[in-house]
């Protein structure tokens, strides 16, 4: 058996304590000083996936009824299967790197690499947008004139990123506690908005939920318009698995956090949209950044200000959680030789991969100066490509390692696992087909970028291995 195969089989069956011996074979240092508890983990997952209903507004342009339908139905076919996948494999293989390790053990090292690399590219697009989002919501509070200056704009983005990066350097506990505070503060105004508007919405239910689609728009077109937005707003359930070694009792707590986080996200997507439609029924007014004006129509200028400030906290929370999850990928890839070994160095005080964290933050702040016109499409395609490998690993591990201890196990046997895996695949095919039809140039560019950079990293690993030999 080759060295990789030996490591895979040993790691599958050893206890978490004994796996530290195998970490020496991986040349991977133990990470973190503290452990993330249940509530901070729930809120970190919340920000990896959602960050509140900000960014959900454009889905209403697919039709009031279609928007509400998509918010409720897509989680059953998309979010729930991914959460179940993450819960089972996260409990069975609670390793730093998360899905990278799942795919390595289930499919093989090369597949694991591509899963990690595609996801890191996705994070480069996704997390880089949050400083721009922060600036956008700051502008909605009356600072547009000042922020029009490119230098001021850049300073604000750096001023946002620097302290949030430092929180990550301090460790998962600091990032998780920040996510909890940001989440409570930004959701508060939406609770008020829902309380003020839910009764009028229920009283005018038919006008809130109809028409299903706008006039002069086909059902297929309306569905496609909303699909990318909804899929993007519901992706990321596996993201925080990359910090499994930094979660307290990860095999038990991680699945529980996922099962709490899923209804929480659905609730704070559906209820604000449902309540908001009673006050702003015109779907053309539901555009990116329109939550403050919707809040104004429901509760006046005070609620508008609170929701606008919530947008700043949402952007901050999304950045904190996104950086926490993605920064562990350079760490584990470097440990396996795909990136410079310096990324495995841990901060002496906090035990975190500070160089990987800072390098990722620098990449995000540079990319945040660019405009991502088709963010949702790019994110969904990159993320979905890696997700296919994760579901493949889920199915293969059920076949090849049925005796692997799974504290959380999807019920229904192998048939249920295959069935659950097929639901997201159908949506992925539909989404990719839609993007290929409308944005084939972007698809081609994504493929070239992903493949060329991935091959360069693999060549780096091969040259390093030859040099060591």
pLDDT computed for residue 466 by the predictor? 61
Task: Tell me if 205 is assigned to some domain.
Answer: yes
Residues 418 and 441: beta-carbon distance below 8 Å:
no
HSE of 448, CA atoms in CB hemisphere, 13 A: 6
Q: How many domains would you assign to the chain?
A: 1
Domain assignment present for 3: no
**pTM confidence score:** 0.89
Instruction: Give the pLDDT confidence score for residue 449 in this predicted structure.
Output: 84
Domain membership of residue 27 (yes or no) is: no
Tell me if 10 is assigned to some domain.
no
C-alpha 261/C-alpha 320 separation (Å) is 17
How high is the pLDDT of residue 26? 47
Cβ within 8 Å of residue 73, ≥6 positions away: none
Predicted pLDDT at 467: 60
For 233, the token pair is 């707003």
Residue 23 belongs to some domain of the structure: no
Per-residue pLDDT tens digits for 21-31: 344 444 556 67
The torsion defined by the Cα of 127, 128, 130 and 134, in degrees rounded to 10, comes to: 160
Please report the pLDDT score of residue 223 as a whole number: 87
For the purposes of burial, counting CB atoms within 10 Å of the CB of 351, is it exposed (0-12), middle (13-18) or buried (19 or more)?
Answer: middle
Q: Which segments of the chain have a pLDDT < 50? A: 1-26
pLDDT recorded at residue 276: 94
Nearest to 290 by CA among 273, 268, 274: 273
- Residue 432 has a pLDDT of 79
Q: Is residue 26 part of a domain?
A: no
> Cα angle vertex 423, ends 421, 427, to 5°?
120
pLDDT value at position 434?
74
Domain around 124: 32-468
Nearest to 243 by CA among 440, 37, 19: 37
According to the 3-state scheme, what is the secondary structure of the chain? CCHHHHHHHHHHHCCCCCHHHHHHHHCCCCCCCCCECHHHHHHHHHHHHCCCCCCCHHHHHHCHHHHHHHHHHHHHHHHHHHHHHHHHHHHHCCCECCHHHHHHHHCCHHHHHHHHHHHHHHHHHHCCHHHHHHHHHHHHHHHHHHHCCHHHHHHHHHHHHHHHHHHHHHCHHHHHHHHHHHHHHHHHHHHHHHHHHHHHHHHCHHHHHCCCCCCCCCHHHHHHHHHHHHHHHCCCCCHHHHEHHHECCHHHHHHHHHHHHHHHHHHHHHHHHHHHHHHCCCHHHCCCCCHHHHHHHHHCHHHHHHHHHHHHHHHHHHHHHHHHHHCHHHHHHHHCCCCCHHHHCCCCCCCCCHHHHHHHHHHHHHHCCCCCCCHHHHHHHHHHHHHHHHHHHHHHHHHHCCCCCCCCCCCCHHHHHHHHHHHHHHHHHHHHHHHHHHCHHHHHHHHHHHHHHHHHHHHHHHHHHHHHC
Q: Select from 222, 180, 204 the least CA-distant residue to 44.
A: 180
Residue 9 within any structural domain of the chain:
no
For the domain that residue 246 is a member of, what is the CATH number? 1.20.1740.10
Evaluate whether residue 7 is within a structural domain. Answer: no
pLDDT (0 to 100) of residue 25 = 42
Please, which residues have CB within 8 angstroms of residue 378's CB and are 6 or more apart in sequence? 125, 372, 442, 446
Q: Is the peptide bond before 211 cis (omega within 30 degrees of 0)?
A: yes
Q: What is the predicted pLDDT for the residue at 374?
A: 56
Contact residues for 348 (Cβ-Cβ < 8 A; gap 6+) = none
- Residues 263-286: tens digit of each pLDDT: 999 999 999 999 999 999 998 899
């Amino acid at each position: 058996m080759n060295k990789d195969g030996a490591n895979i089989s040993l790691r599958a069956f050893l206890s978490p304590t004994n796996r530290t011996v195998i970490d020496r074979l991986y040349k991977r240092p133990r990470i973190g000083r503290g452990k993330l508890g249940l509530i901070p983990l729930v809120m970190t997952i919340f920000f990896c996936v959602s960050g509140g209903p900000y960014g959900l507004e454009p889905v209403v342009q697919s039709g009031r009824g279609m928007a509400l339908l998509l918010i409720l139905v897509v989680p059953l076919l998309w979010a729930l299967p991914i959460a179940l996948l993450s819960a089972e494999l996260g409990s069975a293989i609670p390793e730093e790197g998360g899905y990278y390790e799942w795919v390595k053990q289930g499919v093989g090292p090369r597949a694991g690499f591509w899963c990690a690399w595609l996801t890191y590219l996705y994070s480069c697009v996704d997390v880089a947008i949050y400083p721009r989002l922060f600036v956008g919501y700051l502008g909605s509070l009356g600072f547009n004139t000042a922020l029009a200056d490119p230098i001021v704009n850049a300073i604000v983005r750096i001023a946002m990123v620097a302290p949030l990066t430092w929180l990550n350097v301090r460790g998962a506990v600091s990032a998780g506690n920040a996510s909890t505070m940001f989440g409570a503060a930004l959701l508060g105004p939406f609770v008020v908005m829902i309380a003020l508007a839910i009764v009028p919405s229920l009283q005018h239910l038919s006008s809130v939920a109809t028409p299903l689609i706008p006039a002069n728009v086909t059902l297929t077109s309306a569905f496609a318009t909303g699909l990318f937005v909804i899929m993007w707003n519901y992706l990321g359930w596996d993201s925080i698995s990359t910090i499994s070694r930094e979660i307290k009792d990860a095999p038990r707590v991680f699945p529980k956090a996922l099962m709490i986080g899923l209804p929480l996200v659905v609730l704070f997507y559906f209820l604000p949209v449902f309540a908001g439609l009673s006050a702003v029924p015109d779907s053309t007014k539901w555009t990116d950044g329109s939550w403050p004006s919707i809040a104004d129509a429901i509760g006046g200028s005070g609620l508008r200000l609170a929701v606008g400030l919530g947008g700043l906290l949402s952007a901050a929370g999304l950045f904190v959680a996104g950086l926490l999850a993605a920064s562990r990928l350079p760490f584990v890839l470097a440990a396996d030789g795909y990136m410079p070994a310096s990324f495995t160095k841990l901060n002496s005080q906090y035990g975190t991969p500070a160089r990987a964290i800072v390098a990722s933050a620098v990449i995000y702040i540079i990319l945040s100066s660019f405009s991502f016109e088709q963010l949702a499409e790019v994110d969904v395609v990159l993320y979905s490509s890696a997700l296919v490998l994760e579901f493949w690993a889920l199915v293969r591990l059920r076949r090849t390692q049925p005796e692997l201890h799974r504290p959380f196990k999807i019920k229904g046997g192998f048939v249920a696992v295959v069935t659950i895996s097929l639901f997201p695949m159908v949506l992925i095919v539909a989404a990719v087909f839609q993007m290929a039809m409308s944005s084939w140039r972007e698809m081609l560019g994504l493929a070239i970028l992903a493949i060329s950079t991935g091959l360069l990293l693999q060549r780096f690993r091969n040259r390093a291995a030859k040099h060591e030999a």
